[in-house]
Amino acid sequence: MKRQSEQEMRNLYQEWLVSEKSKSDFADSVGLVRTTFYYWAKKFSAEEDAPSAGNGFQLLDTGSAVGQGRVLAHIHYPSGVSVELYESVPAEYLKALLG
């Protein structure tokens, strides 16, 4: 297969997401070298997982969640540890969690 542009690879990646095939089966079915497809899939997956805001923070609307037993916020650490907040906490506590 000829060399693919980034947009062509992005389109193939989107096709693969809905195909329910393994990466290797999909790459074989469209005539791509498996390692090439693995590279692009990893790249596009990382872009999707990256925070949309430059600093990684989002404004929280806590009005209806506080006291309702619903999760107010999730904090996900790179180590895989997650913290769920079910009620408002002091800013100092959040600084300690994030620091």
Are 29 and 62 contained in the same domain? no
What gap in Å lies between CA 90 and CA 75, rounded to an integer?
15
In this structure, the answer to whether residues 81 and 64 fall within a common structural domain is yes
Based on the fold, state whether residues 60 and 97 are members of the same structural domain: yes
77/23: higher pLDDT: 23
Mean pLDDT, the chain, integer: 78
Which residue range is the domain that position 68 belongs to?
56-99
Q: Is residue 64 part of a domain?
A: yes
Average pLDDT over residues 30-55: 80
Listed residue (61, 59, 81) closest to 70, CA to CA: 61
- The pLDDT tens digits for 5-32 are 888 999 999 999 988 899 999 999 999 9
Q: What is the pLDDT of residue 15?
A: 92
Phi, psi of 84 (to 5 degrees): -110, 135
Q: Give the model's pLDDT for residue 30.
A: 92
Percentage of the chain with pLDDT > 70? 77
Examine the pLDDT at 97 and tell me if it is beyond 80. Answer: no
Q: Is residue 39 domain-shared with residue 69, that is, in the same domain?
A: no
Residue 50 has pLDDT above 70, yes or no: no
Cα 60 vs. chain centroid, distance in angstroms? 19
Strand 73-76 and strand 82-85: the pairing is antiparallel
Q: Based on the structure, what is the number of domains in the chain?
A: 2
pLDDT at 38: 92
Does 1 reside within a domain? Answer: no
